[in-house]
A and B are shown apart, each in its own frame.
Chain A
Amino acid sequence: MNLLARQAESLFWLGRYIERASSLARIMMVQTAFDRGRAEGSSWQWLLALYDESEDFHKRYDEATSDNVIRYFLNDPEHSGSVLRSLEAARSNARALRAMISTDLWMHSNRAYRRVKELPDSALSEMRLSATCDAIQIDCYALLGISSSTLYRDAGWRFFQLGIDLERCDQMSRLLDVRFAQLQTGEADGALIGDFSHWTMLLRACGGHHAYRRLVSGPLQPENVARFLIFENSFARSISHCIGEAEQSITELRTVCGVPTPTYLLKRVSDIIDMIHTAQMDPGLVPYLHNFNDAVQRQLAELTNDLGSSYFDVDVASKKVAVDETPPDEEPDWVVKKDGQTDGAAEPKPASEQSQSQS
């Protein structure tokens, strides 16, 4: 039987939530490091602006102290955008997929969730936060590793990859926006956009420091760092790379897996790619980076909706025609049949090839 639409959706969100938990942990790690040695004391308020969650936060917390914001993003069970809730959602999806994913993937998603759920308060202290976030990241990497080692390479694999790549795009564009979020909350003045240490930190946080250094020599230019994180196709977390991977997955769904794919979905992806190309042509991009990021995030949200309507919501009425055309499942052509032949060998072939296959 083909992949159920519900399973495809679960695989997509499994990928997204693992990546989201990982990114959030990474962003908090950057902030911890950046936060140290600040003249005017610690502030985490910008993180709320970054995820547009000031309002929700203030429903349950009075002040945006570092303790409160850390708790809110790390293990607040009431906050749907916390690391805890992301890992919980990943685990729920893994549970729904339990019959088709490896036991290891299920076991580890269960463990990763439990570890954050059982975090003692001391793990959230400033002294321990970096180690805590690091451990969460490693757990997420383990999940991605198990997935790529064990997931069956059918359509489901493409949906899982789509989830990861779209989430990476989204998170990268948010990360690029950190400084603008700080501007918005008055935590940094305009001059700080050019702050050298901030951009180094960004590079390190997404494991791009070395790659960047290989490509660009000389003093670190904020413009170039931003452009690297957006446009460098060979960098695994760049927006350009991830959207390219997403396009590849969708193409494979259509051509390799034979999944009917509407043209509006293909158009949406190529629109996003065009938008990135256009931005690349613009040498003065960085001052407008915030607008660019906004546009990327909007487009990604639309793309996610399109994926839903293209694949996950099966419209019974419109698919009714195709009902009898779905071919029954067949065994792969390498299966040896009872008569000792494979499907491949049973097909008529030129004499020369036949003798080869017999030998």
Chain B
Amino acid sequence: MAQLSAFRDPSQPALLSNYKPGPSYCELMGDGVEDRPRLLEFWQRLEQLPFEDLTLRAADALHDLYERGVTFTVYTDRDAIDRTLPFDVIPRVLSAAEWATIESGVKQRVGALNLFLGDIYGEQKILKAGVVPRDLVEGNANYRPEMMGVALPHGTYVHVAGIDLVRGADGEFYVLEDNARTPSGVSYVVENRHLMQRAFPDLLEGFRVRDVSDYGQKLREKLIETAPADCDNPQLVLLSPGVFNSAYYEHIYLAREMGVALVEGRDLVVVDKRLFAKTITGLQRVDVVYRRVDDDFLDPRAFNPDSMLGVPGIMDCLKAGTVTIANAPGTGVADDKAVYAYMPKIIEYYLGEEPILANVKTYICRVKKDLAYTLEHMDELVVKPVGESGGYGIVIGPMASKKELDDCKEAVKAKPENFIAQPMVQLSVCPTLTEDGVAPRHVDLRPFAITGEETWVLPGGLTRVALRKGSIIVNSSQGGGTKDTWVLYEEASTAGQSQVQRQNQSLSASSSGSQSQSQSQSQSGSQAQTQSQTNASYQGKEAGKPTE
């Protein structure tokens, strides 16, 4: 077992001694850690950590994120205020078996999403077969008729997908939402891991956790695969709305990891249906655009004419096949909440398979009996407007006031096709550092899948945690934070154990080498911190005060 930097005072209670997960499924304990040796070991390591040590290191870790600019930006009248996303230092651990289900389920789902999009913007077989109602697709605000008949390399529409999963009290994973437009958060997955490596090398040491740091290279590789067919030495750029976007840090991060230029709309220009970047040597051809600009703002000529963020004429390039836009315009129709309800049928229709990851039971209010059920049981249901993204306009029945429920009923009755309803999922919990010690808090999981010719799923994901007691809202705007997500390598079978043990030994030998390195790095980190405090003292103020 690894040496922990500070040992718990035996007179103090163990870190997890008061931890009671209640009726929810616990990500760490599950049905008990005893018969899962890796989780048991993790549990024991965690118990060894003194609470004060954990709190102190957590505070250092957050300060580190802030100094490094791993932030999202909140704008006021005059100032740009950079905030860090709250980070919980106790990781969420997934076994190899759990991950195998998630990975295959996400691949299946993304495969179906791409086939669905290729079909609805092509032959529309699924609409003709009546599997998905035509008006649900064509009447959807995110449906882009401009995409009809546009052929895309490898039929890839959703190059980058974030599939939001929750785990019910039964321990099963369910898909809560598909994000097929411009899902964000992957930079936190990698930064969170780096942070854990810096702050908790002792917790990680010897654990065989799958690496997440090559996401950028994989993304580049997959995007290049989808370059226009006749393109020699494809040029890739990342199109960002610019410094004022709240996810600007992530754009920076991805551009750096991929080694490509971070451009804004004003850096690009279309000449004769070809896309170019304005460089100091003149115009330079661009073949693949990983865009983090929404459809509406992508091309003022095709969509919102007031957009200053996009590139006039870029849609003409896409139609002419001279450029690849990732994700393709018009993917928003596939991750719509109303279409979501049809996903099991969509998977079955195109792949002839049962969904590996089930949907949360969904009542489609446009269907009569579902509407009746929704109105009858609204106080038990979560009612969601369709065509929206990011948790807007959601009414959580069990937590809503009578007036909110009445208003919601009126709205649903007036336009049933605008709503769906789902039973409230008893989200799983994870041990989380709180003011009152380590306590259970609800979590979800967003794995990221990237698709070129084929789909690759990052072995990890964004675990969002509702930091407020009892809350099930994990969104950062409402008190949500994140955790590092550890996907473990397969456990060694007993037959090959001696060999694996030897392997483990050599692994821990080499990792203790890297540990000493990371310690000296973190020492220099704390030196920098002391220095910043000294320097800051000339102003008579405390260092690291987050005014900016």
The chain A residue with its CB closest to the CB of B254 is A99
Expressed in whole angstroms, the Cα–Cα distance for A323 and B233 within the complex equals 16
Pick the interface stretch among A117-125, A168-176, A180-188.
A117-125
Q: B375 contacts the other chain (Cβ, under 8 Å)? A: no
Q: A234 contacts the other chain (Cβ, under 8 Å)? A: no
**Using a CB-CB cutoff of 8 Å, which residues 240-293 of chain B contact chain A?**
242-243, 248, 251-252, 255-256, 260-264, 266-267, 269, 271, 274, 276-285
Q: Is the pair A99, B284 in contact by a Cβ cutoff of 8 Å?
A: no
Q: Contact partner of A2 among B233, B271, B281, B540, CB < 8 A?
A: B281
Q: Is the pair B536, A4 in contact by a Cβ cutoff of 8 Å?
A: no
Expressed in whole angstroms, the Cα–Cα distance for A7 and B262 within the complex equals 10
Q: Inside 8 A of B403's CB, which chain A residues have their CB?
A: none
Q: Is the pair A3, B284 in contact by a Cβ cutoff of 8 Å?
A: no
Expressed in whole angstroms, the Cα–Cα distance for A330 and B235 within the complex equals 11
Q: Contact partner of B233 among A5, A99, A311, A328, CB < 8 A?
A: A328
Pick the interface stretch among A107-115, A210-218, A240-248.
A107-115
Expressed in whole angstroms, the Cα–Cα distance for A236 and B66 within the complex equals 36
Q: B547 contacts the other chain (Cβ, under 8 Å)? A: yes
Q: Is the pair B252, A117 in contact by a Cβ cutoff of 8 Å?
A: no
**Using a CB-CB cutoff of 8 Å, which residues 160-218 of chain B contact chain A?**
none
Q: Contact partner of A4 among B67, B233, B278, CB < 8 A?
A: B278
Q: B393 contacts the other chain (Cβ, under 8 Å)? A: no
Q: Is the pair A111, B271 in contact by a Cβ cutoff of 8 Å?
A: no
Q: A103 contacts the other chain (Cβ, under 8 Å)? A: yes
Q: Is the pair B281, A111 in contact by a Cβ cutoff of 8 Å?
A: no
Pick the interface stretch among A27-35, A282-290, A313-321.
A313-321
Q: Is the pair B262, A322 in contact by a Cβ cutoff of 8 Å?
A: no
Expressed in whole angstroms, the Cα–Cα distance for A6 and B240 within the complex equals 14
Q: Contact partner of B284 among A119, A259, A326, CB < 8 A?
A: A326
Q: Contact partner of B539 among A4, A106, A120, A260, CB < 8 A?
A: A120
Q: Is the pair A322, B283 in contact by a Cβ cutoff of 8 Å?
A: yes
Q: A230 contacts the other chain (Cβ, under 8 Å)? A: no
Expressed in whole angstroms, the Cα–Cα distance for A92 and B248 within the complex equals 13
Q: Is the pair A110, B548 in contact by a Cβ cutoff of 8 Å?
A: yes
Q: Is the pair A316, B269 in contact by a Cβ cutoff of 8 Å?
A: yes
* Closest chain B CB from A118 CB (angstroms): 5
Expressed in whole angstroms, the Cα–Cα distance for A153 and B545 within the complex equals 35
Q: A37 contacts the other chain (Cβ, under 8 Å)? A: no
Q: Inside 8 A of B260's CB, which chain A residues have their CB?
A: 1
* Closest chain A CB from B223 CB (angstroms): 14
Q: Is the pair A117, B261 in contact by a Cβ cutoff of 8 Å?
A: no
* Closest chain B CB from A241 CB (angstroms): 26
Q: Is the pair B67, A1 in contact by a Cβ cutoff of 8 Å?
A: no
Q: Is the pair B235, A329 in contact by a Cβ cutoff of 8 Å?
A: yes
Tell me whether A319 and B282 are in contact in the complex, defined as CB-CB below 8 angstroms, given that A117-B547, A120-B541, A329-B233 are known contacts.
yes
* Closest chain A CB from B263 CB (angstroms): 6
Q: Inside 8 A of A5's CB, which chain B residues have their CB?
A: 267, 278-280
Expressed in whole angstroms, the Cα–Cα distance for A131 and B280 within the complex equals 41
Q: Is the pair B69, A103 in contact by a Cβ cutoff of 8 Å?
A: yes
Q: B434 contacts the other chain (Cβ, under 8 Å)? A: no
**Using a CB-CB cutoff of 8 Å, which residues 402-439 of chain B contact chain A?**
none
**Using a CB-CB cutoff of 8 Å, which residues 329-372 of chain B contact chain A?**
none
Q: A227 contacts the other chain (Cβ, under 8 Å)? A: no
Q: Contact partner of A314 among B255, B278, B545, CB < 8 A?
A: B278
Expressed in whole angstroms, the Cα–Cα distance for A153 and B434 within the complex equals 47
Expressed in whole angstroms, the Cα–Cα distance for A4 and B266 within the complex equals 11
Which of A99, A100, A119, A120: most chain B CB closer than 10 A? A99
Q: Inside 8 A of A111's CB, which chain B residues have their CB?
A: 532, 535
Q: Is the pair B539, A2 in contact by a Cβ cutoff of 8 Å?
A: no
The chain A residue with its CB closest to the CB of B548 is A114
Q: Contact partner of A328 among B232, B251, B264, B277, CB < 8 A?
A: B232
Q: Is the pair A1, B536 in contact by a Cβ cutoff of 8 Å?
A: no
The chain B residue with its CB closest to the CB of A330 is B233
**Using a CB-CB cutoff of 8 Å, which residues 477-536 of chain B contact chain A?**
532, 535-536
Expressed in whole angstroms, the Cα–Cα distance for A5 and B280 within the complex equals 5
Q: B94 contacts the other chain (Cβ, under 8 Å)? A: no
Q: Is the pair A311, B538 in contact by a Cβ cutoff of 8 Å?
A: no
Q: Is the pair A4, B545 in contact by a Cβ cutoff of 8 Å?
A: no
**Using a CB-CB cutoff of 8 Å, which residues 82-117 of chain A contact chain B?**
92, 95-96, 98-100, 103, 106-107, 110-111, 113-115, 117
Q: Inside 8 A of A131's CB, which chain B residues have their CB?
A: 538
Q: Inside 8 A of B262's CB, which chain A residues have their CB?
A: 98-100
Q: Contact partner of B548 among A117, A123, A258, CB < 8 A?
A: A117
Q: How many residues of A contact B (CB 8 A)?
A: 48
Q: Is the pair A326, B538 in contact by a Cβ cutoff of 8 Å?
A: no
Q: Is the pair B535, A319 in contact by a Cβ cutoff of 8 Å?
A: no
Q: Contact partner of B538 among A92, A96, A132, CB < 8 A?
A: A132
Q: Is the pair B540, A323 in contact by a Cβ cutoff of 8 Å?
A: no
Q: B469 contacts the other chain (Cβ, under 8 Å)? A: no
The chain B residue with its CB closest to the CB of A139 is B535
Tell me whether A92 and B243 are in contact in the complex, defined as CB-CB below 8 angstroms, given that A4-B263, A118-B545 are known contacts.
yes
Tell me whether A260 and B540 are in contact in the complex, defined as CB-CB below 8 angstroms, given that A1-B277, A111-B532, A118-B545 are known contacts.
no
Q: Is the pair A316, B283 in contact by a Cβ cutoff of 8 Å?
A: yes
Contact digits for A132-157, partner B, Cβ 8 Å, 1 yes 0 no: 10010001000000000000000100
Q: Is the pair A135, B283 in contact by a Cβ cutoff of 8 Å?
A: no
Q: Is the pair A95, B243 in contact by a Cβ cutoff of 8 Å?
A: yes
**Using a CB-CB cutoff of 8 Å, which residues 63-93 of chain A contact chain B?**
77, 92
Expressed in whole angstroms, the Cα–Cα distance for A179 and B243 within the complex equals 42
Tell me whether A323 and B276 are in contact in the complex, defined as CB-CB below 8 angstroms, given that A95-B243, A118-B541, A316-B269 are known contacts.
yes
Tell me whether A6 and B278 are in contact in the complex, defined as CB-CB below 8 angstroms, given that A99-B262, A117-B547, A323-B283 are known contacts.
yes
Expressed in whole angstroms, the Cα–Cα distance for A110 and B255 within the complex equals 20
Q: Is the pair A99, B279 in contact by a Cβ cutoff of 8 Å?
A: no
Q: A8 contacts the other chain (Cβ, under 8 Å)? A: yes
* Closest chain A CB from B217 CB (angstroms): 15
The chain B residue with its CB closest to the CB of A97 is B262
* Closest chain A CB from B268 CB (angstroms): 10
The chain B residue with its CB closest to the CB of A316 is B269
Q: Is the pair B279, A1 in contact by a Cβ cutoff of 8 Å?
A: yes
Q: B445 contacts the other chain (Cβ, under 8 Å)? A: no
The chain A residue with its CB closest to the CB of B237 is A1
Q: Is the pair B283, A328 in contact by a Cβ cutoff of 8 Å?
A: no
Q: Inside 8 A of A330's CB, which chain B residues have their CB?
A: 233
Q: Contact partner of B256 among A99, A122, A328, CB < 8 A?
A: A99
Q: Contact partner of A1 among B68, B252, B261, B271, CB < 8 A?
A: B261
The chain A residue with its CB closest to the CB of B233 is A328
Q: Is the pair A123, B538 in contact by a Cβ cutoff of 8 Å?
A: yes
Contact digits for A317-342, partner B, Cβ 8 Å, 1 yes 0 no: 00110110010111000000000000
The chain A residue with its CB closest to the CB of B67 is A107
* Closest chain B CB from A211 CB (angstroms): 29
* Closest chain A CB from B417 CB (angstroms): 43
Expressed in whole angstroms, the Cα–Cα distance for A328 and B547 within the complex equals 45
Expressed in whole angstroms, the Cα–Cα distance for A326 and B277 within the complex equals 11
Q: Inside 8 A of A106's CB, which chain B residues have their CB?
A: 69
Q: Inside 8 A of B541's CB, which chain A residues have their CB?
A: 118, 120
Q: Is the pair A110, B282 in contact by a Cβ cutoff of 8 Å?
A: no
* Closest chain A CB from B512 CB (angstroms): 27
Contact digits for A1-45, partner B, Cβ 8 Å, 1 yes 0 no: 111111110000000000000000000000000000000000000
The chain A residue with its CB closest to the CB of B238 is A99
Which of B69, B280, B281, B538: most chain A CB closer than 10 A? B280
The chain B residue with its CB closest to the CB of A318 is B282
Expressed in whole angstroms, the Cα–Cα distance for A328 and B276 within the complex equals 12
* Closest chain A CB from B52 CB (angstroms): 28
Given A135-B538, A323-B283, 5 more A-B residue pairs with CB atoms under 8 Å apart are A119-B539, A120-B540, A311-B280, A320-B271, A322-B282
27 pairs, CB–CB < 8 Å, chain A vs chain B:
A1-B261, A2-B284, A4-B279, A6-B267, A98-B69, A98-B262, A103-B68, A107-B68, A111-B532, A115-B535, A118-B545, A120-B540, A123-B539, A131-B538, A135-B535, A135-B538, A155-B280, A259-B281, A260-B282, A314-B279, A314-B283, A316-B271, A316-B278, A316-B283, A320-B271, A323-B283, A326-B281
**Shortest 8 CB-CB contacts between residues of A and residues of B:** A314-B278, A2-B279, A99-B262, A99-B255, A328-B233, A319-B282, A322-B282, A98-B252
